[in-house]
Amino acid sequence: MQSRFVERDAKALVERYAEQGVPEDIALRVYTTRLLGQDPKLVLHGGGNTSLKTRLADLMGETIEVLCVKGSGWDMAMIEPAGLPAPSRRAFQLISYLASGERLEEHLETLRRLHPEGRRDDRLDAWLDHTGSLYRIERRPESIRMVVSEGFVGAPDAVLRALARLAIPYARKRQPRRDVREYAEGARFADVLRQVEAAGGAYQSRPAGAVYDLRELFDRINRQYFGGGLAPPRLLWSERVASVEFGHYEPATDTVRLSRRLDSPDVPPFVLEHVMHHELLHRVLGAERRGDRRRYHSARFRREERRFEGYPEAEEFLQRLARSGATAR
């Protein structure tokens, strides 16, 4: 077999990604992955896998060993450094975001404010990270570990105090929970998350699947049910075939994801259109507030959802699919 490795091309790619803070070995793995993906005799479109063992600095400056593996949903022929599994990709995005001195200082300043002098519980150990949730709490007898979304960087002291209060046992949580949710639904939180994801080069849509194209689905539903008035959100296939849901809308990053389980010739187009319609309704209607509660599937939402032509048949298909091994939406 003739080698397709061209030293000049590899060097140019390494230099281009170096400007984004991508290490040389990762850039070279991107280059060689593309070479493999461009040969249809070696890899089917959308398939294949590559990996790289390397060493990277964590947020504390310590060098750790990591395994970077090509993530599902990326075409090997066009892969970017961000085409890594979710935990690795998020780490790459956060490191890229914090490469700016101003952003790093704001990150550290927010951490300092999360650990103020004279706080109520010295066991609390809070960190900022690029996570898929607003916060995660792990309570142990000797410590309370709290991982907080990077979206809270630069948040007011009152919001940070509310986050800390949510982690402390026996503290009243109704008002703190409301304060945290209201901030997370604001423009500042969404803007930070978009900047973090954009810093890692992963904020573009990737609508093309093996069978279906999400942009085509969006355009049809937008014309038929929303008068063509919606701007395209970021459109992605979920990273795992066995997703926990058939569709999901993420307001903070304006992202619609559909389960790759649906990207199959065995799934009729109207089923994917129904799921797309469902997620776009979440985007348009948002949540209905009743006191401290938020209802995402309100009576109005259900009325609008049933306007979809073929709604009963699509729901019946999804229920059968869920029973056959996929999990319900």
Q: What is the pLDDT of residues 223-245, one digit of tens each?
A: 999 999 999 998 988 755 444 57
Instruction: Please give the residue that has the higher pLDDT: either 259 or 59.
Output: 259
Nearest-angstrom CA–CA distance, 192 and 198: 10
Confidence of residue 214 (pLDDT cuts 50, 70, 90): very high
pLDDT for 242: 45
Query: What's this model's pTM, rounded to 2 decimal places?
Result: 0.57
- Radius of gyration (C-alpha) of the chain in whole angstroms: 22
Q: What is the pLDDT of residues 297-329, one digit of tens each?
A: 899 999 999 999 999 999 999 988 888 764 434
Looking at domain 214-323, its CATH architecture is 2-Layer Sandwich (3.30)
Distances, alpha carbon 254 to alpha carbons 194, 201, 230, in Å: 9, 16, 12
Instruction: Please give the residue that has the higher pLDDT: either 84 or 3.
Output: 3
Q: Which two tokens stand for residue 159?
A: 């919001």
- Percentage, residues of the chain above pLDDT 70: 81
Nearest-angstrom CA–CA distance, 237 and 72: 9
Nearest-angstrom CA–CA distance, 322 and 329: 8
Fill in the amino acid letter for 114: L
Residue-range domain boundaries for the chain: 7-84, 101-197, 214-323
Quick check: 254 pLDDT over 80?
yes
| Domain 7-84 coded CATH 3.40.225.10 | yes
96 closest CA partner among 194, 22, 17: 22
Phi and psi angles of residue 23, each rounded to the nearest 5 degrees, phi first: -60, 155
Fill in the amino acid letter for 31: Y
Quick check: 61 pLDDT over 80?
no
H or E stretch covering 320: helix 311-323
| End-to-end Cα spacing for the chain | 47
Q: Which two tokens stand for residue 90?
A: 């998020």
Quick check: 147 pLDDT over 50?
yes
Average pLDDT over residues 266-291: 91
Instruction: Please give the residue that has the higher pLDDT: either 61 or 82.
Output: 82
The residues that bridge with 220 in the sheet, in sequence order, are none
Q: What is the pLDDT of residues 97-138, one digit of tens each?
A: 888 788 999 999 999 998 876 555 577 888 899 887 889 888
Average pLDDT, the chain: 82
Q: What is the pLDDT of residues 167-198, one digit of tens each?
A: 888 778 889 998 998 899 888 998 898 888 77
Are 222 and 284 in contact by the 8 Å Cβ rule? The answer is no
